[in-house]
Structure 1
């Protein structure tokens, strides 16, 4: 219940009709790197047990080490879906741009925009959404010097 509630609140703040939107937007404008990492950990707690990914393997992603197992690739897909960066391995381009502009600190926005632009089509034509998500994340890693991931 808690995990679903966190996701619903996160999704809500990006919808115009959300009752928390105005207050939440004011809070998000000053979001820090530490706050981003705390939020990312919450998302990780949803997906990691679902696919039985050990902490060491999940931590390797931050250093650009990507496991080649189906479970790991589906874990990546789960996280990208929760963050609304992608849906089933396909980039949510407009939502991602909106999140970059709304949520991220100004100092890292250009790097995230560049990564999104470079990778927006990388998953097209790949039928396995877990595989597409893994390829997408690896592209983000290569094309975003400020890369971070739960």
Structure 2
């Protein structure tokens, strides 16, 4: 059931990139993910607000918050720091969303592969992804 919930969060949040969903539903799902990860890795409102604008903090808790978000969605192995790009693509609801995510995966994963720190890997993946597609901030869990 936990994986099903995570799967719903990913699909619904990323669906927002190309389709219009009821804002309340998307926000509720993002809030659930935020609540889980911010309890483990608290981040300030300033860090959260900056991230919404594409300004990512170098704060360690923020980096680990990003790792937690990917981990909760079963997209990173926190022990090996490997992000599963194929699973990420397969979780996308349609080809249009896949077209937006695939370049991020293709360009960002090779640059971060083999790094031992899962928090740094997650952070660098998100940072790289926002460089390629700044509108991807809308899929951040806050």
Asked if Structure 1 and Structure 2 have the same fold, meaning a TM-score greater than 0.5 normalized by the shorter chain, the answer is yes
Give 3-state SS (helix, strand or coil) of 2:74's partner. coil
- Among 10, 13, 33, the alignment partner of 2:5 is 10
Pair 42,142 (structure 1): closer, same or farther in 2 beyond 3 Å = same
Q: Does residue 79 of structure 2 align to residue 90 of structure 1? A: no
Separation in structure 2 between the aligned mates of residue 65 and residue 126 of structure 1, nearest angstrom: 23
Larger Cα-atom Rg: 1
Separation in structure 1 between the aligned mates of residue 127 and residue 7 of structure 2, nearest angstrom: 28
Q: Does residue 69 of structure 2 align to residue 74 of structure 1? A: no
Give 3-state SS (helix, strand or coil) of 1:120's partner. helix
Name structure 1 gaps, 5 residues minimum.
14-23
Q: TM-score under structure 1 normalisation?
A: 0.70
Deviation of residue 45 (structure 1)? Answer: 1.0
Given that 2:3 and 2:73 are in contact with CA atoms closer than 8 Å, whether structure 1 keeps it comes out as no
Deviation of residue 107 (structure 1)? Answer: 5.0
Pair 95,130 (structure 1): closer, same or farther in 2 beyond 3 Å = same
Give 3-state SS (helix, strand or coil) of 1:122's partner. helix
Pair 12,80 (structure 1): closer, same or farther in 2 beyond 3 Å = closer
Deviation of residue 98 (structure 1)? Answer: 0.8
Q: TM-score under structure 2 normalisation?
A: 0.73
Give 3-state SS (helix, strand or coil) of 1:121's partner. helix
Given that 1:81 and 1:87 are in contact with CA atoms closer than 8 Å, whether structure 2 keeps it comes out as yes
Deviation of residue 80 (structure 1)? Answer: 1.3
Given that 2:41 and 2:65 are in contact with CA atoms closer than 8 Å, whether structure 1 keeps it comes out as yes
Deviation of residue 94 (structure 1)? Answer: 1.5
Separation in structure 2 between the aligned mates of residue 73 and residue 107 of structure 1, nearest angstrom: 28
1:24-39 aligned at under 5 Å gives the runs 32=21, 34=23, 35-39=25-29
